[in-house]
Chain A
Amino acid sequence: MGAEEDNKARFARLITPYLSHAYRLARSITSSPTDAEDVVQEACLRAFRGINGVADANARAWLLTIVHHTACTWLRKNRPAALISVVDVAAVEAKQAKFDEQDADTPETALIAKSNRARLEAAIGSLSLPYRETFTLREVEGLNYREIAEITGVPIGTVMSRLSRARDQLDDMIERKRL
């Protein structure tokens, strides 16, 4: 029992503190709270099985890497269309239409600051998966480029271009449709 007990204590110490990060990332990738729950649960089992292989200082990025892989595998199996989604401007605009018309003359930056949660989530949710995930890891989770590159398995240069293009697209949506 000794070794197994160690693994449990190790999981509790290294992984439990980052479960909320894992959940938010899974939700960002799958765009669904329900799917995110399945993904996080499966990712945690994988993490538990591999808990001996992780260095203490790296636990958060390690867990999020597992969540990234688990979520992408899950999407390929269950919703392959989600992996090739592009920005569906019409859908976003329809979703946003009800929010407001009154901001027509407000400067763009003021509009962005005014965006409420639903608008912002819809705009971020309409980004394609790599942009959405990169933006979330940076602006919501506060990770640096190196960590994001490690988690999403791409070079830092790709992280940079995804991030600036994600921001551009969000700005575009806000500008065009007064999100």
Chain B
Amino acid sequence: MTNSTPSSSSDNSIQLVHAYMDGELDLTAALGIEEKIAADPKLAAERDRIIALREAVQQNLPRDPIPPTLQRRIENTIGLRQETSHPTWRTLAASVALAVLVTSSSTWLFLDSNAPKTMEGAIVAGHIRGLMASQPTDVASTERHTVKPWFNGRVVEAPHVADLASDGFPLIGGRIDVVGSRPVPTLVYGRRKHIISLTAVPNAGRPTSGPSVSADNGYNIVHWVTNGISYWAVSDVSASDLDEFAKLFRATQS
């Protein structure tokens, strides 16, 4: 392998643009490099190249699953699939899952009737934890091309990330919240000096529903369901601001 020597003083900044686009910078460093990008067309071009390449990969390189024959062969070799009267791992897993479903306090996630109330509590708790932490995000970036891929591999499905900066709701970053015992993605947006947490909980089977506004512990909450995903926007901004945020976000989903 060869090593090239840095040739100009901005090499370090270019390296930082990559780290920034990979969600590796803390909030302060991220803001610093955002300023440099805004001031330096060369750095902006570097950012655009990273985005273009990333989009090409995401659109054109499907994340191929393991071939089923290979998975079967591995499971056979290890003995996960024995043709005996012993329960297989699948049935064991199913019975464990059933036991968990019946006994666990997270049953409300799956059974419908009382779901929203408890779920709402968990999501507001996530928002409050975010406010109490040194920063409300695990990945700090105003760039949706950084925030969305950061969720890959951390949650089952990376959430839809909308750019609403021009409408006065700049993206600040994202974090993982835990609802029930499930990791779920939360996007963090700003509104003047306030923080809006938008949590996306995959909830297959839930019918699409329009926004409903409620309040909990002094926080306003707007909840809606689109394409089998429950969205919860939580903030201390006014209910009308939060409602506007929800409208704008929903408009980017259609």
Q: Which residues of A contact B (CB under 8 A)?
A: 4, 8-9, 11-13, 16, 19-24, 27, 33, 37, 40-41, 44-45, 48, 60, 108-110, 112-117, 120-121, 128, 130, 138-145, 160-161, 163-165, 167, 170-171
Contact = CB atoms under 8 A, between A and B. Distances in A.
Given A24-B63, A120-B57, A44 B52 contact: no
A65 B24 CA distance: 21
Nearest to A145: B24
B191 interface: no
Given A19-B71, A44-B77, A138-B22, 16 more contacts: A8-B89, A12-B93, A16-B75, A20-B63, A22-B66, A23-B65, A23-B66, A33-B67, A108-B52, A110-B52, A113-B52, A117-B61, A117-B62, A128-B1, A142-B152, A161-B15
Nearest to B156: A17
A170 B57 CA distance: 11
A171 B74 contact: no
Given A24-B63, A37-B70, A160-B18, A141 B153 contact: yes
Interface string B189-221: 000000000000000000000000000000000
Contacts of A27: 64
B19 A160 contact: yes
A130 B1 CA distance: 9
Nearest to B3: A161
B49 A141 contact: no
Interface of B is mostly: helix
A39 to B, nearest CB: 11
A41 B50 contact: no
B244 interface: no
Interface residues of B, number: 47
A133 B142 CA distance: 28
Contacts of B150: 142
B149 interface: yes
B49 A167 contact: yes
Contacts of A142: 149-154
22 contacts: A8-B80, A8-B89, A9-B92, A19-B66, A21-B153, A27-B64, A40-B74, A41-B70, A45-B78, A109-B52, A112-B55, A113-B52, A114-B56, A115-B60, A138-B22, A142-B150, A144-B24, A145-B24, A163-B18, A167-B53, A170-B53, A171-B49
Contacts of B154: 142
B22 A113 contact: no
Contacts of A164: 14-15, 18
Contacts of B71: 19
Contacts of B80: 8, 11-12, 16
B126 interface: no
B18 A167 contact: yes
Contacts of B15: 160-161, 164
Contacts of A167: 18, 49-50, 53
Contact of A109 (B1, B14, B48, B62): B48
B77 A45 contact: yes
A4 B49 CA distance: 50
B65 A20 contact: yes
Contacts of B48: 109
A142 to B, nearest CB: 3
B42 interface: no
Interface string B161-195: 00000000000000000000000000000000000
